[in-house]
Amino acid sequence: MADHGDTIFALASARGKAGVSVIRISGPGARDAAATLTGDLPPDREARLRVVRDAAGGRIDAALVLVFPEDHSFTGESVVELQTHGSTAVVQAVLACLGQLEGCRLAEPGEFTRRALDNNRLTLTEVEGLSDLIEAETEAQRKQADRLFRGELRARAEEWRQDLIRASALIEASIDFADEEIPDGVIAEAQDLIAKTKRSVDLELNGAQAARGVREGFEVAIVGRPNVGKSTLLNAIARRDAAIVSDIAGTTRDIVEARVDLNGQNVLFLDTAGLRESGDTIEQLGVEKARSRSSAADLRVFLGEGASELGVPVESSDIVIGAKADISGQGVSGLTGEGVAELLKEVSDRLETFVAGSSLASHERHVVALSDASAELALAGSLLGSDEGAFDLAAESIRASITALERLVGRVGIEDVYDEIFRSFCLGK
C-alpha cells in the first residue's frame, strides 16, 4: 500500500444548495477526525445519526455517519463520510472544523482517486472510466464509461498478458535447451498465442475511432451550396436560432455548431459555409474551412447534391437528401420541419452502425499502448517464422508488447500522464 501520511477531506457531492451534502475523509486519521466532530463512531459500514459539533462544542448539524475500514473503502484507506444537510453554511462550517485538526488537510483535485490507484483499488483504465462516468452526458457515454470503470479493458489486457507470458516462457525454454530435445509443437504453440493475441488487440484498435466518437461526441456536417437551406436545417435540428439565416449567398462563413443528444449519442451538427468558388477572400477561406472540416466529420448530410459538384468526398455512411422540401415536395425542409424527424432517424441509424463496432479503447493513450503492443507482436511473429537464431529477438519483442499492455493499465511508465488525468477530477474525487 502506498504511504499517504496526511488525512485528506473534501466535499464529495456538488457544491451549492442540496437536500444532502457528502463530506469525505480519508487517511490514517480519518476515524479520529470524524470522532472529534461527532463523538463515538458507528460500527463499520452502518449508517448512524450523529450531531456534528465544532471545537467549542457548539452544534453545527445532524449528519448520517458512515465508516469504511481500510482495504474495504474506495481509497483503500480508512474512510469516513458525513452526510450533512446540503446547506452552504453547514458544509463550510464542517470543512473549517476539519481544516483545524492536526494532520488533516483539504484534498487536491482527484486525490481520493489517486490514492485508490496507488493502493491498487483501481487500475489506470478504471480511473479513466470513472472520470468519463462523471463527465458522461448521454446514455451511450454512460454505458461506455461504466464498462471501462468496471474493468473490462483491464480484464482483456490481463488475458492478453497471460497468453504472452506463456508464449515467452515457451520461447525461452527453446532458447535455454537448444542443445536438448524440445517437444514438438512448442514454437508452434507460441506462434498461435502471439497470433491470437494480435488479432484481439487489433480488433480493439479497429473499434477505437468509434469508441472515441462515443466518448467525445460525433460530428455531422451539413454540406451544400449557398442558400440551399443548411442554416435553416441546423436551427430546426437544434430547436433554436444557432445560425443566421439570410437570402444573401455566403452569409455563413465560419462553422456554426449545435450539440444534440440524439437517441443517447452526443452529436455535434455543423453548419458549414456554402460551397462555391468566390472572389471574396474571406468567403473563400470559409469555403476551404468547410471542405476541410466536412471531410474530417464522422458523417455528412449533403443537401441537394453530392460530392462531384461540391468537392467533398461522399462516404458510404453519408446521406444525400433533397433540399427545401417545402418548395420541391421531397427531401427535407428546416423551414416547415418536413422530413427533419426522418433525417435525424437516418443519422441516428448510421451512427448506431458505426458504434456497433466500437471498442473500449476510447482514449488516445489506449490507442498508443495497443498500437505499440500490436507492432511488437507482428515483429515477434515474423522473427519466430524465420530461424532459431532470431528467437532471442522474438522473446524481446514479446517482452516489449507485455510492457505496452502494462502501460495500458498503469502498472509501468505512466507517471507523466498522472497530472493530466487527475486534473479533470473535482476535489471530492
Gap between the Cα atoms of 410 and 120, Å rounded: 10
252 labelled as ligand-binding? yes
337 labelled as ligand-binding? no
Could you list the pLDDT tens digit for every one of the 429 residues in the chain? 444 679 999 999 988 888 999 999 999 999 999 999 999 999 999 999 999 999 999 999 999 999 999 989 999 999 999 999 999 999 999 999 999 999 999 999 889 999 999 998 999 999 999 999 999 988 999 999 999 999 999 999 999 999 999 999 888 877 766 555 556 678 889 999 999 999 999 999 999 999 999 999 899 988 887 777 888 888 888 887 654 443 434 444 457 788 888 988 899 998 875 544 444 555 456 556 667 677 778 898 988 755 455 566 777 888 988 888 888 778 888 888 888 999 999 999 999 988 888 999 999 999 999 999 999 999 999 998 877 678 889 999 999 999 999 999 887 655 555 555 556 666 566
Gap between the Cα atoms of 225 and 244, Å rounded: 16
419 labelled as ligand-binding? no
Torsion of CA 388, 390, 391, 397, to 10 degrees: -160
- Biggest distance spanned by C-alpha atoms of the chain: 86
- Going across the sheet that includes 7-11, the strands are 48-53, 59-68, 79-86, 18-26, 7-11, 104-106
3-class SS of residue 388: helix
Model-level pTM? 0.76
248 labelled as ligand-binding? yes
247 labelled as ligand-binding? yes
* Cβ atoms < 10 Å from Cβ of 419: 10
Contacts of 120 (CB under 8 A, 6+ apart): 1, 76
Altogether, the residues listed in the chain come to a count of 429
Gap between the Cα atoms of 82 and 9, Å rounded: 11
Gap between the Cα atoms of 237 and 231, Å rounded: 10
Q: Are 395 and 168 in contact (CB under 8 A)?
A: yes
Q: Write out the three cell numbers for 123.
A: 487500475
273 labelled as ligand-binding? yes
274 labelled as ligand-binding? yes
230 labelled as ligand-binding? yes
Query: Which domains, from first to last, does the chain contain?
Result: 7-121 (3.30.1360.120), 129-207+362-410 (1.20.120.430), 216-355 (3.40.50.300)
382 labelled as ligand-binding? no
Please say whether the dihedral angle defined by the alpha carbons of residues 122, 127, 130 and 134, taken in this order, is positive or negative. positive
- CA of 10: how far to CAs of 23, 63, 67, 73, 310, in Å? 6, 16, 16, 16, 55
429 labelled as ligand-binding? yes
**Exposed e or buried b for every residue in 185-221, given b needs 16+ CB within 10 A?**
eebeebbebbbebbeebbebbebbbbbbbbbebbbbb
105 labelled as ligand-binding? no
271 labelled as ligand-binding? yes
Find the angle CA(58)-CA(63)-CA(69) to the nearest 5 degrees: 115
143 labelled as ligand-binding? no
Q: Cell 515467452 sits at which residue?
A: 168
228 labelled as ligand-binding? yes
Q: Are 116 and 45 in contact (CB under 8 A)?
A: no
246 labelled as ligand-binding? yes
